């Protein structure tokens, strides 16, 4: 049970008032709590980070990256504890939690020596030398859906770049951040280089984004909250990197044979339902040729019912609860509104799954008979809700895919790989999967339009935390 925040290498009491309860979404029962930080705590953490910046940024990049690799090794030793913690606070099925929620951040920290080696920190340019320097003090504000993973995506490259960090994790899933703070302390990250302040967005997050000693804010979350962060940062002309919402399209082209089409639809359901649909890059719109719409509806509905909701510790569970009562009601409200607007719910819907009246569960849902302009096809739902949309011809498929305010991710499936690549290049999305293209943790991740700006992971993620200085010789 975290009793204190981590600031300047010490565990200190917070001044924000009553502690914040952490609720297990599978039981609806509080099981832990974290301190509530206020603006004074944030200021103390930012001042510590600013004081630690000169010495940390002066250390060789190989040392900074090596310490990140040491963090990875120490997190690996606590993988069982982290898995248990994240299952309790988030509710993702345990096997997926271990592989994704714990495995991915470990890989991110471990990759830092390789990533740093790919960056030219000093580069001759004619009569000049161009240096890539750390941007400074970074305020990292992270979401609840991939808590440690999104922390690692910001903290590992920021520290490797030579920045110091104040982390404000989501108050909904904050506990893994305290494990990371313990690990940082144990491996010898100097005091003030990494700090954790737990609290709410209005109390701690806004204070962090607005603090005059913060040089950059890296935020992942909703588009609405991202606008507020950008507004606060802009007042001090602070750099921002924003990874926001998505309504990503999965385009199945008309050259797929029957078996390949069925396989694509079934995999499309999986690409929507990962983490109970609580994934910003989830492929939540399935675009199919109009003449194959009925086949797609049948296959998707058949596949959806195999995603058994239940206890995230049960190996048979394929779909855990949503993270909170607020999130559950938000998803249910979208489903009720879609039905009122005339959509056809093929399977699922707003009612609780049978036998799961307790816990923040939502039925795995497939929706059809909607227009591309409808709310359910335009707005991010953030639940296990797949919308099927028919198209007539490749050009219309591209128009529908690009026809939302978002542009975070997309998928294209086709028998002709070259054709799939041509279609993919017409999509305005930051990360596009062709057929069974594997996830690459070193490739850049980020979006177009209201999905934000800036990139995370690999060399591009590291460069987000660097600025340039040119010295004329």
CATH superfamily of 5-244+451-472: Aldehyde Dehydrogenase; Chain A, domain 1 (3.40.605.10)
Mean pLDDT of all residues in 422-451:
97
Catalytic residue among 89, 243, 303, 380: 243
How many angstroms separate the CA atoms of 268 and 272, rounded?
6
- pLDDT score of 85: 98
Pair 83, 39: CB distance under 8 Å: no
- Summary mean pLDDT of the chain: 97
How many angstroms separate the CA atoms of 249 and 380, rounded?
12
Q: Is residue 333 scored above 60 in pLDDT?
A: yes
Query: Which pLDDT band, with edges at 50, 70 and 90, does 2 fall under?
Result: confident
Cβ within 8 Å of residue 228, ≥6 positions away: 206, 209
- pLDDT score of 380: 97
Q: Is residue 24 scored above 80 in pLDDT?
A: yes
Query: What is the pTM for the complete model shown?
Result: 0.97
pLDDT digits (tens, 9 = 90+) for 35-52: 999 999 999 999 999 999
pLDDT digits (tens, 9 = 90+) for 357-409: 899 999 999 999 999 999 999 999 999 999 999 999 999 999 999 999 999 99
Q: 126-163 burial, b for 16+ CB within 10 Å, e for fewer?
A: eeeeeebebbbbbbbbbbbbbbbbbbbbbbbbbbbbbb
Percent of the chain with pLDDT over 70: 100
- pLDDT score of 338: 97
Query: Which pLDDT band, with edges at 50, 70 and 90, does 127 fall under?
Result: very high
Q: Which CATH number fits domain 249-440: 3.40.50.720, 3.40.309.10, 1.10.3720.10, 3.30.2130.10?
A: 3.40.309.10
- pLDDT score of 1: 57
Pair 36, 333: CB distance under 8 Å: no
The answer to whether residue 394 is catalytic is no
Q: Are strands 365-368 and 29-34 parallel, antiparallel or unpaired?
A: unpaired
List the domain boundaries for the chain.
5-244+451-472, 249-440
Q: Is residue 54 scored above 60 in pLDDT?
A: yes
Percent of the chain with pLDDT over 90: 99
Q: 334-344 burial, b for 16+ CB within 10 Å, e for fewer?
A: bbeebeeeebe
How many angstroms separate the CA atoms of 133 and 136, rounded?
9
pLDDT digits (tens, 9 = 90+) for 194-215: 999 999 999 999 999 999 999 9
Q: 312-330 burial, b for 16+ CB within 10 Å, e for fewer?
A: bbeeebbbbbbbbeebbee
Query: Which pLDDT band, with edges at 50, 70 and 90, does 293 fall under?
Result: very high
Phi and psi dihedrals of 144, rounded to 5? -95, -15
């Amino acid at each position: 049970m975290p009793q204190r925040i981590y600031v300047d290498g010490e565990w200190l009491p917070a001044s924000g008032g009553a502690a914040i309860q952490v609720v297990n979404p599978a039981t609806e029962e509080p099981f832990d709590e974290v301190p509530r930080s206020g603006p004074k705590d944030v200021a103390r953490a930012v001042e510590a980070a600013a004081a630690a910046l000169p010495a940390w940024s002066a250390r060789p990049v190989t040392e900074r990256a090596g310490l990140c690799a040491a963090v990875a090794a120490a997190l690996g030793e606590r993988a069982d504890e982290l898995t248990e913690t994240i299952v309790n606070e988030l509710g993702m099925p345990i096997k997926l939690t271990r592989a994704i929620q714990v495995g991915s951040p470990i890989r991110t920290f471990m990759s830092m020596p390789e990533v740093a080696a790919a960056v030219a920190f000093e580069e001759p340019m004619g009569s000049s030398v161009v240096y890539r320097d750390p941007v400074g003090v970074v305020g990292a504000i992270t979401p609840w859906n991939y808590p440690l993973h999104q922390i690692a995506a910001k903290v590992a490259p920021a520290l490797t770049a030579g920045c110091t960090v104040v982390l404000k994790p989501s108050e909904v899933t904050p506990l893994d951040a305290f494990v990371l703070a313990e690990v940082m302390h144990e491996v010898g990250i100097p005091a003030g280089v990494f700090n954790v302040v737990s609290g709410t967005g209005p109390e701690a997050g806004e204070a962090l984004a607005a603090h005059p000693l913060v040089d950059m804010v890296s935020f992942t979350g909703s588009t609405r909250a991202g606008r507020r962060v950008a507004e606060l940062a802009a007042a001090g002309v602070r750099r921002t990197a924003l990874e926001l919402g998505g309504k990503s399209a999965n385009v199945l082209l008309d050259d797929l044979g029957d078996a390949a089409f069925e396989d694509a639809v079934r995999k499309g359901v999986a690409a929507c339902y990962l983490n109970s649909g609580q994934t910003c890059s989830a492929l939540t719109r399935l675009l199919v040729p109009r003449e194959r719409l009925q086949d797609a509806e049948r296959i998707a509905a058949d596949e959806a019912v195999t995603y058994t909701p239940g206890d995230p510790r049960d190996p048979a569970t394929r779909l855990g609860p949503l993270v909170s009562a607020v999130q559950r009601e938000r998803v249910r409200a979208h489903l009720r509104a879609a039905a009122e607007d005339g959509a056809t719910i093929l399977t699922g819907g707003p009612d609780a799954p049978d036998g799961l009246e307790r816990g923040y569960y939502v039925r795995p849902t497939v929706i059809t008979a909607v227009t591309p302009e409808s709310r359910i096809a335009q707005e991010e739902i953030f639940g296990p809700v797949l919308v099927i949309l028919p198209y007539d011809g490749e050009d219309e498929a591209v128009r529908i895919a690009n026809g939302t305010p978002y542009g975070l991710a997309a998928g294209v499936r086709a028998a002709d790989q070259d054709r799939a690549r041509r279609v993919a290049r017409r999509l305005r999305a930051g990360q596009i999967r062709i057929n069974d293209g594997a996830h690459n943790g070193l490739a850049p991740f980020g979006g177009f339009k209201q999905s934000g700006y800036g990139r995370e992971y690999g060399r591009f993620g590291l460069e987000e935390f660097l600025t340039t200085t040119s010295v004329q010789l």
